[in-house]
Amino acid sequence: MPDAGAELAALERRAGGRLGVLARHTGNGREVRHRAGERFPVCSTFKAILAGAILQRSAAMPGLLEQQVRYTRQDLVAYSPITEKHVAQGMTVGQLCAAAIQYSDNGAANLLMRRIGGPAGVTAFARSIGNQSFRLDRWETELNTAIPGDPRDTSTPADMAASLQALALDNALPAAQRRQLQDWLRGNTTGAARIQAAMPAGWQIGDKTGSGDYGTTNDIAVLWPPAGAPIVIAIYFTQAAPDAKWSNETIASAARIALSGLG
């Protein structure tokens, strides 16, 4: 079996940034890790945890996802492709969750955060499902500055993979809410060039991407093979120059190495 750790280190050197990877086979527990315990800017990958927080609340509040949310254009921020089309009529909480996950709609994320106590509410929910490193300090779009060494709005690949597994596969959410999160993740439109590009034919994926300054390029995913247990992968990549370009290829290459390393 190839030495995935050495291959990821070589990829990181070629890519010219800092790469964090945690891949886990949920059946046999085998893992591939590279800088998995280091902090990285989460950028929009936090929206998977945000949706989990809303879903947990919906289990105790039937009808929450159907509640209508009214908002104005002033409530929206840069990159709000779905919410900007529905200012006149508003959207339901469930539609906002789908927009935040499947289109990474920033306005939707902020509207949802208002309902659970803002960034601190997202952080508290992350703690409640066992993620001790996660911290969300700011709203969209400020949370994407991704300044090297800045602990704000960061977590670790290991903790983000564990959180995704807890929410989408394990028992952090009741069964109906877990299925809803899976459906939202499977419907994502933003990840085709990242982990999905490394996925073998016949597999299924649900993922949440994130992108920010300093060329920060992220993706967290659940992969379902045609048979056998799912695989959870969290890949985070960030660079030294503020205007560095995003690198989908680095994420896809890291995913290929990780999947190969899991065997």
pLDDT digits (tens, 9 = 90+) for 69-88: 999 999 999 999 999 999 99
Determine the pLDDT at residue 170: 98
If residue 238 lies in a helix (H) or strand (E), which one and from where to where?
A: strand 231-238
- pLDDT over 70 for what percent of the chain? 99
In this prediction, residue 2 carries a pLDDT of 62
Query: What is the per-residue pLDDT across 1-36, written as a single tens digit (0 to 9) for each?
Result: 569 999 999 999 999 999 999 999 999 999 999 999
- What is the distance between the alpha carbons of residues 65 and 93, in angstroms, rounded to a whole number? 5
Mean pLDDT of the chain: 98
Rounded to an integer, the average pLDDT of 27-48 is 98
Of 263, 250, 225, residue with least CA distance to 21:
250
Counted residue by residue, the chain has a size of 263
pLDDT (tens digit per residue) in 85-100:
999 999 999 999 999 9
> How large is the average pLDDT for residues 41-57?
99
Burial of 154 (0-12, 13-18, 19+ CB in 10 A): buried
pLDDT of residue 263: 86
- What tens digit of pLDDT does each residue of 190-246 get? 999 999 999 999 999 999 999 999 999 999 999 999 999 999 999 999 999 999 999
Measured CA angle at 156 (ends 152, 161), to 5 deg: 130
Active-site residues, by number, are 44
Instruction: Give backbone dihedrals phi and psi of 215, rounded to 5 degrees, phi first.
Output: 60, 25
| DSSP per-residue letters across 50-102 | HHHHHHHHHHHSTTGGG-EE---GGG--SS-TTGGG-TTT-EEHHHHHHHHHH
Are 146 and 41 in contact, with CB atoms under 8 Å apart? yes
Per-residue pLDDT reduced to its tens digit, 104-130: 999 999 999 999 999 999 999 999 999
Per the listing, tokens 């208002």 go with: 114
